[in-house]
Amino acid sequence: MGQTSDEVRRAVSDALKEHDRATAVRIAVEAVSSGAIDVASLYSEVLVPLLHDTGEAWRAGDTTVWEEHLASQAVRSIVELVYPAVLKAKADVPATGRSVLLACPPEEAHDLGLRLVADRFDMAGWTTYFLGADTPFDEVVDAAGTLQVDAVVLSSSTHFHLVALRRHVDRLRAELPGVDVWVGGPAFAVARDGWRDDEIVDLDALLGDAHATAEAGPEVGAGAPEDARAPGEARHQEDAEAPRGADTPRDADTPREAR
Ligand code: B12
CA of 216 to the centre of ligand 1 (A): 37
Asked whether residue 87 carries a pLDDT value surpassing 80, the answer given is yes
H-state helical runs in 65-196: 65-81, 83-91, 112-123, 137-147, 162-175
Where in the sequence is the domain holding 67, given as residue range(s)? 5-86
Among 59, 86, 113, identify where a domain stops: 86
Task: Pick 253 or 49 by higher pLDDT.
Answer: 49
Residues 137 and 199 in one domain: yes
CATH code assigned at 28: 1.10.1240.10
Final residue before a domain boundary, out of 86, 109, 131: 86
Expressed in angstroms and rounded, the spacing between residue 55 Cα and the centre of ligand 1 is 8
Establish whether residue 14 lines the binding site of ligand 1, counting it when its CB lies within 6 angstroms of any ligand atom: no
171 and 47 in a common domain: no
Q: What pLDDT does 194 receive?
A: 85
Task: Evaluate if residue 18 carries a pLDDT over 50.
Answer: yes
79 plus 133 within the same structural domain: no
Co-location of 206 and 82 in the same domain: no
Give pTM, 2 decimals.
0.84
Residue whose Cα lies nearest atom 75 of ligand 1: it is: 109
203 touches ligand 1 (CB under 6 Å) = yes
Same domain, 17 and 49: yes
Ligand 1 lined by 249 (C-beta under 6 Å): no
Distance separating alpha carbons of residues 28 and 46, to the nearest angstrom: 9
Check residues 247 and 199 and name the one with the higher pLDDT: 199
Distance 215 CA to ligand 1 centre (A): 35
- The answer on 78 and 159 residing in a single domain is no
Question: Which 3-state string (H, E, C) describes 60-72?
Answer: CCCCCHHHHHHHH
Which range of 71-80, 208-217, 220-229 scores highest in mean pLDDT? It is 71-80
Residues 150 and 167 in one domain: yes
Better-predicted residue by pLDDT, 223 or 107 = 107
Q: What is the mean pLDDT of the chain?
A: 84
Instruction: Assess whether pLDDT exceeds 80 at residue 24.
Output: yes
Query: Given a cut of 70, is residue 3 above it in pLDDT?
Result: yes
How far apart (Å, rounded) are the C-alpha atoms in residues 107 and 39? 29
**102 and 28 housed in the same domain:** no
- Give the residue-averaged pLDDT of 189-208: 86
- Residue 69 Cβ inside 6 Å of ligand 1? The answer reads yes
Q: Check residue 189 and give its pLDDT.
A: 82
* Nearest to 152, CA basis, from 161, 160, 162, 171: 171
Distance 157 CA to ligand 1 centre (A): 5
Q: What is the pLDDT of residues 151-196, one digit of tens each?
A: 999 999 988 888 889 999 999 999 999 999 999 999 988 777 789 8
Ligand 1 centroid vs 230 CA: distance in angstroms?
38
206, 119: one domain: yes
Q: What is the CATH number of the domain that holds 203?
A: 3.40.50.280
Same domain, yes or no: 64 and 164: no
What pLDDT is recorded for position 238? 45
Residue 253 has pLDDT above 60, yes or no: no
| 66 C-beta closer than 6 A to ligand 1 | no
Beta carbon of 198 within 6 Å of any ligand 1 atom: no
Domain boundary among 34, 53, 86: 86
